[in-house]
Amino acid sequence: MKGQLKVETPEAYLDALNEPRKSDLTAIDTLIRRTVPKLSPCIYSGMLGYGMETLTYASGRVVHCPRIALASNKQYISLYILACNDDGYLAEQYRDKLPKASIGKSCVRFKQWSDLDAKIVERLIKAASKSRPIA
Protein backbone atom coordinates (compact mmCIF):
# COMPACT_ATOMS: atom_id res chain seq x y z
CA MET A 1 0.00 0.00 0.00
CA LYS A 2 1.20 3.52 -0.65
CA GLY A 3 0.43 7.20 -0.30
CA GLN A 4 -3.04 8.31 0.61
CA LEU A 5 -5.03 5.46 2.09
CA LYS A 6 -8.76 5.29 2.71
CA VAL A 7 -8.54 4.62 6.42
CA GLU A 8 -10.10 6.24 9.45
CA THR A 9 -7.40 5.94 12.14
CA PRO A 10 -3.62 6.21 12.38
CA GLU A 11 -3.53 2.57 13.54
CA ALA A 12 -5.46 1.48 10.44
CA TYR A 13 -3.02 3.42 8.23
CA LEU A 14 -0.03 1.59 9.70
CA ASP A 15 -1.84 -1.78 9.58
CA ALA A 16 -2.53 -1.29 5.85
CA LEU A 17 1.17 -0.99 4.98
CA ASN A 18 3.41 -3.82 3.82
CA GLU A 19 6.89 -4.50 5.15
CA PRO A 20 9.44 -2.97 5.26
CA ARG A 21 7.44 0.28 5.10
CA LYS A 22 5.19 -0.75 7.97
CA SER A 23 8.16 -1.05 10.35
CA ASP A 24 9.72 2.20 9.10
CA LEU A 25 6.54 4.25 9.46
CA THR A 26 5.73 2.66 12.80
CA ALA A 27 9.17 3.71 14.08
CA ILE A 28 8.69 7.28 12.82
CA ASP A 29 5.16 7.43 14.24
CA THR A 30 6.51 6.28 17.61
CA LEU A 31 9.25 8.93 17.50
CA ILE A 32 6.76 11.70 16.67
CA ARG A 33 4.29 10.64 19.37
CA ARG A 34 7.05 10.36 21.98
CA THR A 35 8.75 13.62 21.00
CA VAL A 36 5.67 15.84 20.69
CA PRO A 37 2.83 14.14 22.58
CA LYS A 38 0.75 17.34 22.50
CA LEU A 39 0.35 16.95 18.71
CA SER A 40 -2.56 14.53 18.51
CA PRO A 41 -2.36 11.93 15.72
CA CYS A 42 -5.09 11.87 13.07
CA ILE A 43 -5.73 11.01 9.44
CA TYR A 44 -5.38 13.96 7.07
CA SER A 45 -5.96 13.53 3.34
CA GLY A 46 -5.29 9.80 3.66
CA MET A 47 -1.96 10.33 5.47
CA LEU A 48 -0.89 10.31 9.10
CA GLY A 49 -1.15 13.78 10.59
CA TYR A 50 -0.08 15.22 13.92
CA GLY A 51 -1.33 18.42 15.53
CA MET A 52 -4.35 19.42 13.44
CA GLU A 53 -4.72 23.20 13.27
CA THR A 54 -7.16 25.66 11.80
CA LEU A 55 -5.48 28.52 9.94
CA THR A 56 -7.26 31.67 8.82
CA TYR A 57 -5.53 33.62 6.06
CA ALA A 58 -5.72 37.41 5.71
CA SER A 59 -8.19 36.84 2.85
CA GLY A 60 -10.54 35.07 5.27
CA ARG A 61 -9.86 31.62 3.77
CA VAL A 62 -9.85 28.91 6.43
CA VAL A 63 -7.64 25.81 6.11
CA HIS A 64 -7.39 22.73 8.36
CA CYS A 65 -4.02 21.00 8.32
CA PRO A 66 -1.59 19.20 10.62
CA ARG A 67 1.74 20.59 11.80
CA ILE A 68 3.46 17.32 10.79
CA ALA A 69 2.34 14.61 8.35
CA LEU A 70 3.74 11.24 7.29
CA ALA A 71 3.06 9.17 4.16
CA SER A 72 4.34 6.03 2.49
CA ASN A 73 4.59 6.77 -1.23
CA LYS A 74 5.54 4.41 -4.05
CA GLN A 75 9.22 5.37 -4.26
CA TYR A 76 9.85 6.97 -0.87
CA ILE A 77 8.56 7.98 2.55
CA SER A 78 7.47 11.59 2.97
CA LEU A 79 7.74 13.47 6.26
CA TYR A 80 5.91 16.80 5.90
CA ILE A 81 6.99 19.57 8.26
CA LEU A 82 4.36 22.26 7.85
CA ALA A 83 6.11 24.87 9.97
CA CYS A 84 8.40 27.86 9.54
CA ASN A 85 10.36 30.39 11.54
CA ASP A 86 11.98 33.75 10.77
CA ASP A 87 14.56 31.95 8.58
CA GLY A 88 11.91 30.26 6.40
CA TYR A 89 10.68 26.69 6.02
CA LEU A 90 12.02 24.38 8.73
CA ALA A 91 12.53 21.33 6.50
CA GLU A 92 14.83 23.32 4.19
CA GLN A 93 16.96 24.32 7.18
CA TYR A 94 17.82 20.64 7.80
CA ARG A 95 19.04 19.87 4.27
CA ASP A 96 22.72 19.64 5.27
CA LYS A 97 21.92 17.61 8.39
CA LEU A 98 19.96 14.94 6.44
CA PRO A 99 22.17 14.28 3.39
CA LYS A 100 20.44 11.04 2.30
CA ALA A 101 17.07 12.79 2.06
CA SER A 102 15.60 14.86 -0.74
CA ILE A 103 14.27 17.99 0.93
CA GLY A 104 11.82 20.52 -0.44
CA LYS A 105 10.25 23.50 1.27
CA SER A 106 8.21 21.43 3.69
CA CYS A 107 8.91 17.81 2.78
CA VAL A 108 11.67 15.39 3.72
CA ARG A 109 11.68 12.41 1.30
CA PHE A 110 13.76 9.29 1.91
CA LYS A 111 13.84 5.61 0.93
CA GLN A 112 14.03 4.06 4.39
CA TRP A 113 14.11 5.19 7.99
CA SER A 114 17.70 3.98 8.44
CA ASP A 115 18.79 6.62 5.88
CA LEU A 116 18.18 9.34 8.47
CA ASP A 117 19.74 10.26 11.78
CA ALA A 118 16.88 9.82 14.28
CA LYS A 119 18.33 12.47 16.64
CA ILE A 120 18.29 15.06 13.84
CA VAL A 121 14.72 14.14 12.90
CA GLU A 122 13.75 14.42 16.56
CA ARG A 123 15.21 17.96 16.66
CA LEU A 124 13.30 18.87 13.49
CA ILE A 125 10.04 17.54 14.96
CA LYS A 126 10.57 19.47 18.22
CA ALA A 127 11.31 22.64 16.25
CA ALA A 128 8.15 22.13 14.18
CA SER A 129 6.03 21.85 17.31
CA LYS A 130 7.41 25.17 18.61
CA SER A 131 7.38 27.09 15.32
CA ARG A 132 4.52 28.77 13.54
CA PRO A 133 2.49 26.90 10.92
CA ILE A 134 3.03 27.62 7.25
CA ALA A 135 0.48 30.23 6.31
Report the CATH fold assignment for 10-133: Aspartate Aminotransferase, domain 1 (3.90.1150)
Q: What residues does each domain of the chain span?
A: 10-133
Tallying the residues shown for the chain, one arrives at: 135
Other C-beta atoms within 10 Å of 104: how many?
A: 13
Is the pTM higher than 0.75? The answer reads yes
Q: What is the mean pLDDT of each run of 10 residues along the chain (135 residues)?
A: 73 94 97 97 94 84 90 94 94 96 96 97 96 81
Are 79 and 45 contacting, i.e. CB atoms less than 8 angstroms apart? Answer: no
Helices and strands, counts by H and E, the chain: 4, 9
